[in-house]
Amino acid sequence: MLDGVSLSVAAGEIVDIVGPSGSGKTTFLRALARLLPAASGELLLGSVPAEKIPATEWRCRVALQPQKPALTEGDVRANLLLPWTLRVRHGRPRPSDAALAEALASVGLDDIGLDRDAARLSVGQVARVALLRVTLTTPDVLLLDEPDAALDDDSALSVATLTRAFAEKGGAVVRVRHHRSDGLAARRLLLEGGRLAVSSAGTASPAREEVVS
C-alpha cells in the first residue's frame, strides 16, 4: 500500500526505486502508468495533469516495461513493430528494416536477424528486444520493473546501455531494481512502509519536472 508517495523526475534523469519485496514498488510503477484506476493522487506529465491527457496517449508517453517482458508469436521484426499495429499509432511512420537492424546492433543483437523466430531467443535476448520495442516508440518516460533481473552480465550491460542512451536523448527513467547500483541513477530511493526516502544520491541534478505522483 502506498502512503503519500511523491516523486519528481527530470528529463534525462534516471531514478532507481529499491526496497523489500512486497513494499509496493511494482504497484508504484503501475500507478505512474495509469494502470490502477482505483488509485488516488496527482500525476503530472510536464506541467499537464493526467486528467487532461487521454489514458491511451499517457500510456504511449509513459511506457511501462514489466519485470517479465513477453514477445508474441512471429519473428523479431514483427515484435519490434508491434506498437505500430495498434490503433493509437495508426498512420504514424514505422521504423525501416535498416533502423531496426541498427537498433538490434546497438544492444549486441546484430547476429540474430529480423527474420529470427522470437521463440528461439534466449532470456537475455528477449529482454533486449522487448526493451528496444518500447524505446523505439520514443516515450517521454520509461518505467522499468527490474529490467536486469535474471539476466547474464552481458545482457544486463546491454540493457543498462540502452537505458542510458534513452536518458541521454532526454527521456526520464524510473527503475525498480534489486541489484547494487550500476552508477546510472542520479538518485536511489527506498520504498518502505508505503513511503519513499533517499537511499543514496548521485551527482546529477534534475532540470525540470516530468512525473509527479
Per the CB < 8 A criterion, the answer to whether 18 and 189 are in contact is: yes
* pLDDT for residue 204: 37
For residue 33, with 0-12 CB atoms within 10 Å meaning exposed, 13-18 middle and 19 or more buried, which class applies? Answer: buried
Q: In CATH, what number is assigned to the domain containing residue 174?
A: 3.40.50.300
Give the domain extent around 160.
Answer: 8-212
The answer as to whether 177 is a domain residue is: yes
The answer as to whether 130 is a domain residue is: yes
pTM for the whole structure: 0.89
The answer as to whether 68 is a domain residue is: yes
Q: Tell me 3's DSSP state.
A: -
Alpha helices, DSSP H, located in the chain: 25-32, 55-61, 76-80, 97-106, 123-135, 153-168
The answer as to whether 2 is a domain residue is: no
The answer as to whether 182 is a domain residue is: yes
* pLDDT for residue 91: 84
Tens-digit pLDDT string for the chain (213 aa): 677 788 999 999 999 999 888 888 999 999 999 998 877 788 999 989 999 999 999 999 999 999 898 999 999 999 999 999 998 888 889 999 999 999 999 999 999 999 999 999 999 999 999 999 999 999 999 999 999 888 999 999 999 999 999 999 999 999 999 877 888 999 999 998 878 887 754 433 333 333 433
* pLDDT for residue 203: 39
Cα separation, 161 vs 13, in Å, equals: 14
* pLDDT for residue 1: 64
How many domains, the chain? 1
CB atoms within 10 A of CB 8: 15
The answer as to whether 30 is a domain residue is: yes
The answer as to whether 3 is a domain residue is: no
The answer as to whether 77 is a domain residue is: yes
